[in-house]
Amino acid sequence: QEERSTREEVTLKKLDAAVAASPPRALGAGQFAAKDVRELPPVARERLVALYNSCEAAVAWPCQWLLVLINLFPKGDSSDRAIGVINALIRLWAFMQGGYVAEWQEKMAGQWDAAIAGSSCSRAALLRAFDDESVHVLANTIRAVSLLWDAKGFYDSLEIQLIIEQALELHLPAVS
């Protein structure tokens, strides 16, 4: 389609600029960060650029990059906000796309994609992390994980008709 043709190929210069501009973030499932790309030798970064361009041509990511970790941050109304942590290599690709991806995101965003005023996700996350770290320090051998889920907000946002239409379009097999 026309929109895709307006985007430019990934280059080593764009990759290096994206790595430099990328803020530190939580590690995704790959346990890989932008700073790790900065430390790769030039030949490895060139191969990563070639991989990005190959992925774009195929319109597909390697399956290992697709796993998204979900962090649930408590909100004041006894529910939680789910935040997805994507693979750092996909995040870098998004940085390289500049306005192209931002425009698409803005156009496609749903009501769940906007932060709610007055809700302090970072405060709740800090308290949750403190709880987990306290358990680890006190017991020294215990690893703590907090898993919370607000399914109500997720299911309230689903539009059944769209799900059915997309399932039919994707030829999703019926379950009997």
Q: What pLDDT does 11 receive?
A: 93
What is the chain's mean pLDDT, rounded?
Answer: 76
Q: What pLDDT does 108 receive?
A: 65
In terms of Cα–Cα distance, which of 2, 168, 17 is closest to 97? 17
- 176 or 166: whose pLDDT is higher? 166
Q: What pLDDT does 79 receive?
A: 74
> Cβ(1)–Cβ(56) under 8 Å?
no
- Cα 68–153–131 angle (5° rounding)? 65
> Cβ(24)–Cβ(38) under 8 Å?
no
- 111 or 35: whose pLDDT is higher? 35
pLDDT at 40 exceeding the cut of 80: yes
- 85 or 42: whose pLDDT is higher? 42
In terms of Cα–Cα distance, which of 101, 94, 83, 85 is closest to 22? 94
DSSP 64-122: GG---EEEEEE-TTS-EEEEEE--HHHHHHHHHHTHHHHHHHHHH--GGGSPPTT--HH
Buried b (16+ CB within 10 A) or exposed e, 70-86: ebbbbbeeeebbeeebb
